[in-house]
Amino acid sequence: MIGILKIGSGNISSVANAVYISGFDYIMVETPEDLEECSHLILPGVGHFATAMNKLRQASFEQPLQVFKRSGKPILGICLGMQMLLTDSEEGEHSKGLDYIEGEIRRFSDEKVRVPHAGWNEIHLRNPHPLLEDIKPNSDMYFVHSFRAVNVSKKSVIATTHYQEDYPSVIASENIIGVQFHPEKSQNSGLKFIENFCDWDGTC
State the Cα–Cα distance between residues 156 and 166, nearest whole angstrom.
Answer: 15
Q: Are 180 and 137 in contact (CB under 8 A)?
A: no
State the Cα–Cα distance between residues 142 and 114, nearest whole angstrom.
Answer: 16
As annotated, the active-site residues are 79, 182, 184
DSSP state of 52: H
Which residues lie across from 77 on neighbouring strands?
43, 178
Q: Are 159 and 167 in contact (CB under 8 A)?
A: no
State the Cα–Cα distance between residues 16 and 19, nearest whole angstrom.
Answer: 5
